[in-house]
Chain A
Amino acid sequence: MEPPETTSTVTLRVNGVQHSLDLDHRTTVLDALREHLGLTGAKKGCDHAQCGACTVLVDGRRTNSCLLLAVAHDGAEVTTVEGLAEGDALHPLQAAFLERDGFQCGYCTPGQLCSALGMIAEAGAGAPSLVTPPAEAALSPAPVPLSPEEIRERMSGNLCRCGAYGNIVAAIEDVTR
């Protein structure tokens, strides 16, 4: 009997560009980006979805790319931090992070940015968080106003050991207010 195939051709559309890659089934979306496409913006902080540094948008939703097997996401649309700016013009979130000093070492920053982008869309679509008042919870799907408390809870999947949390929340508020 033939040994089973352990590699596949996988197509990913990353920041609007189509890529076809021959990948080991074990390869995660994160490693496909970093090791095969040279897109090292998304970071590997823990490799187990415990830190959020690898956060990217897959088909428009934020997710931990370290736990996604690339082969299972054949055909997916991926947005990484490298895809946020329009040419030289920074995305408003990127500009706000700069202005608010929303980072220090910068290693969690791409994940924080992608997570914020996804998070703002989720709240805009009316998705609740644990701290969304129950009274509002019944009124789906009105957008959930992003109070600092909402931002903190929704961004809690992104650790920052430098402790830039306050500045990150301020930067996000600059964009959502």
Chain B
Amino acid sequence: MRAFAYERAGGVDEAIAAVAASPGGMFLGGGTNLVDLMKLGVASPGLLVDIGRLPLTEVRETPDGGLHIGANVRNSDLAAHPAVRSRYPALSQAVLAGASGQIRNTATTGGNLLQRTRCLYFQDVAKPCNKREPGSGCPAREGVHRDLAVLGHSPMCVATHPSDMAVALAALDAVVHLRGPGGERTVPLCDFHRLPGDEPQRDTVIEPAELVVAVGLPAPPAGRSAYRKARDRASYAFALASVAAVLDVRAGVVEEVRLAFGGLAHKPWRARVAEEALRGAPATEESFARAAEAELAAAEPLRENGFKVRLARNLAVRMLGDLAAPAGEGSAS
């Protein structure tokens, strides 16, 4: 880790200005990923602008019935918030499915969105990686990639986005509020993370010196929602695959559905093909399976990770089935 300068920002605009003025400047939030990457030599900021004490810590209900979540809200506080637990259970579950109690106490909402892939090549500065060093190559494609992408990858990069929280946010139609040197803007969560394409070094659409200031949730959709993650270790492990879903069934027919996969792609994968197939369809296992398979037909698994396609399919079918079951019969809330 190279030596760096440190500034504690007194306000959001001050923080943005400080990073904008420093070519090697980065924002420091909870630091659970950034400090890790600095130790690995993957990130080498010359200046850290600490936004950890900025008052972006509010979770409040908005006039339209939604929720405003400040970027500095700690993961554990978000998961425990009564409004999140009661109205967005998939989000609470997703946050609680990630990392450990200690990390959730430290990691922030904004930082969670911006965490970087755990691809083993990305984390090893002695090896090529197009995400870390554009143009150096992607050894993961032919190398060790069991945990990596099956959807939306490019010849340049097969990384996955590791967040659980973002998968639930994708299913809940969240938006990301950004502020930068040029002012404020709001980006739908589903458009915030990118597919790797030719620029795998860019995880998101965020611009230099732009700061995540909040995440917005619309009013909770009708129906029931849940998050389920499959992993090797029973806890404290990244997802092999995960699914977040919101399902509203009326008289045995799917009125509305939102489905997102985690662990499969460079971004939370909103399953719009499956959703389209399900709207108006009978809420049966056959429909769910057909829809999931339609979505996953686009999968291009690598040598070692084809099982993730089946895993994701099964997770989706199981979850939708649980959500469709009358309350009390399913395992989801």
- Residues of A in contact with B (beta carbons under 8 Å apart): 4-6, 8, 24-26, 28, 47-49, 52, 55, 61-64, 67-69, 71-72, 115, 118-119, 122, 125-130, 134-135, 137-138, 140-141, 152-158
Contact = CB atoms under 8 A, between A and B. Distances in A.
Contact of B106 (A8, A68, A128): A68
Interface stretch (B93-101, B152-160, B293-301): B93-101
A52 B6 contact: no
B83 to A, nearest CB: 9
Interface stretch (B45-53, B64-72, B186-194, B239-247): B45-53
A55 B236 contact: no
Contacts of A52: 100, 102
B226 to A, nearest CB: 8
Contact of B50 (A72, A134, A135, A137): A72
Contact of A140 (B8, B32, B39, B82): B82
Nearest to A154: B101
B28 interface: yes
B101 A157 contact: yes
B206 interface: no
Contacts of A115: 101-102
B50 A127 contact: no
B102 A62 contact: yes
B175 interface: no
B35 A28 contact: yes
Nearest to A60: B105
B238 to A, nearest CB: 11
Interface residues of B, number: 41
A4 B35 contact: no
A135 to B, nearest CB: 8
Residue picked from B1, B3, B82, B100, most chain A C-beta under 10 Å = B100
Nearest to B105: A61
Interface string B103-116: 10110000000000
B36 interface: yes
Residue picked from B76, B80, B102, most chain A C-beta under 10 Å = B102
Contact of B101 (A28, A67, A119): A119
B6 A130 contact: no
B31 A68 contact: yes
Contacts of B48: 25, 69, 72
A24 B31 CA distance: 16
B53 to A, nearest CB: 9
B32 A67 contact: yes
Given A28-B35, A49-B36, A156-B236, A67 B5 contact: no
Given A25-B4, A125-B80, A130-B97, 8 more contacts: A49-B32, A49-B100, A67-B31, A118-B101, A122-B101, A137-B86, A138-B86, A156-B101
Residue picked from A52, A122, A157, most chain B C-beta under 10 Å = A157
B234 interface: yes
B47 A4 contact: yes
Contacts of B1: 26
Nearest to B94: A130
B22 to A, nearest CB: 9
B96 A129 contact: yes
A127 B74 CA distance: 13
Contacts of A128: 79-80, 85, 92, 96
A64 B332 CA distance: 31
B136 interface: no
Nearest to B332: A134
Contacts of B38: 26
B333 interface: yes
B180 interface: no
Contact of B52 (A72, A118, A129): A72
B199 to A, nearest CB: 27
Contacts of B62: none
B162 interface: no
Given A72-B50, A128-B85, A128-B96, A67 B36 contact: yes
Contacts of B96: 128-130
A103 B100 CA distance: 20
A156 B234 contact: yes
A63 B62 CA distance: 31
B100 A25 contact: no
A136 to B, nearest CB: 10
